[in-house]
Amino acid sequence: NEKMEEESYSNGSYAGEYKSCLLEGRYLVSLSLINVFTFVIGQPVTAKLLWITYTTKKSTDILNCNLALFHNFLYLVCVLHLIFLFIYQKHQVDLLNIVLIYGQVGGSMNLCFICMERYVAVIYPTSYPLLKKYRWREICTVMVWLSSLSTAMMTTIATGNTCPLKKMVIKNIPFTVMLLATSLMVWCTVRITRALMKSSPGRDQLHPIKRKAFRIVCATTAMNLLCYIPVSVMQMFRIQDEYLFNCTLMPISILVLSAASVVHPLFYLYTKGKLFICLKGQKKAT
């Protein structure tokens, strides 16, 4: 009985601290600013990327287009979370967990598939047309959406009445996905680097197509290491101290994922020469 009373007291004090954390002005303001930043800055950039992708005369870059749609859905959920912050505060944490797992799993998987596509283009150029023939890109997009949405819902909802072992396994799924994606991306980067160094002996410059593929692979790998890996590491603190994670580390994780969702469209527009198109137009006019 004494142990039960101590547990109930500790649970009650924890719930009180957690509730006060959710109602703090700094907590609400920080999450609100992150949501506003994500939507106001990311939405126009993603809309421009989608417009360029659909209006181009070349074949549609399915993986980058899918990543833009993935981020666009993330922006809409951030707006929904902004509403939940002030109306449905009891459920905003669950929605925030969904956003966190959704962006972490889907973003890293899509970057990994983009990196693997460039790997095939450089290492096996004769097999590259087979990707279109066998609908490899379409299969990857379906895998991204199914994996991200199912993992987000499972880690948020299905862990309520499960045993501790199952709960730990479910919560470690995003980190496992991140580990596999990062390993594949680093492996592709190393293989492409070796292939480019061997393919052009005595040359000062690489072929433009290979140079572009190498730049894209390096950028996607760096984005994964700098943005998604830290989020996965911070998620490991949820098992040790859930109060610390929900009240301190979760807003930081959401901010990092929001920055990643903006950086990739900007990089894509830069590689296409469309990022500073307005400035170029002004220079030509002068």
* In contact, 60 and 69? CB cutoff 8 Å: no
* In contact, 265 and 42? CB cutoff 8 Å: yes
Cα–Cα distance measured from residue 32 to residue 37, given in angstroms and rounded to the nearest whole number: 9
Residue 44: predicted pLDDT: 86
Task: Tell me the pLDDT tens digit for each residue of 36-86.
Answer: 888 888 888 888 888 887 777 676 788 888 888 888 888 888 888 888 877
Cα–Cα distance measured from residue 144 to residue 106, given in angstroms and rounded to the nearest whole number: 5
Cα–Cα distance measured from residue 195 to residue 183, given in angstroms and rounded to the nearest whole number: 18
Predicted TM-score (pTM) of the model is: 0.78
Residue 145: predicted pLDDT: 92
The dihedral built from the CA positions of residue 173, 178, 184 and 187, taken in this order, carries a sign that is negative
Cα–Cα distance measured from residue 117 to residue 158, given in angstroms and rounded to the nearest whole number: 34
% residues pLDDT > 90 (the chain): 3
Task: Tell me the pLDDT tens digit for each residue of 192-238.
Answer: 878 777 755 555 456 676 777 777 788 888 887 888 888 877 777 76
DSSP string covering 31-58: HHHHHHHHHHHHHHHHHHHHHHHHH-SS
Return the closest-CA partner of residue 264 out of 64, 8, 15, 7.
64
Residue 277: predicted pLDDT: 55
Residue 21: predicted pLDDT: 65
- Within 8 A by CB and 6+ apart from 259, the residues are 227
- Within 8 A by CB and 6+ apart from 145, the residues are 70, 106
- Within 8 A by CB and 6+ apart from 137, the residues are 62, 63, 113, 117, 131
Return the closest-CA partner of residue 75 out of 53, 49, 57, 55.
49
Q: What is the dihedral of CA 236, 238, 240, 245, to 10 degrees?
A: 110
Residue 206: predicted pLDDT: 60
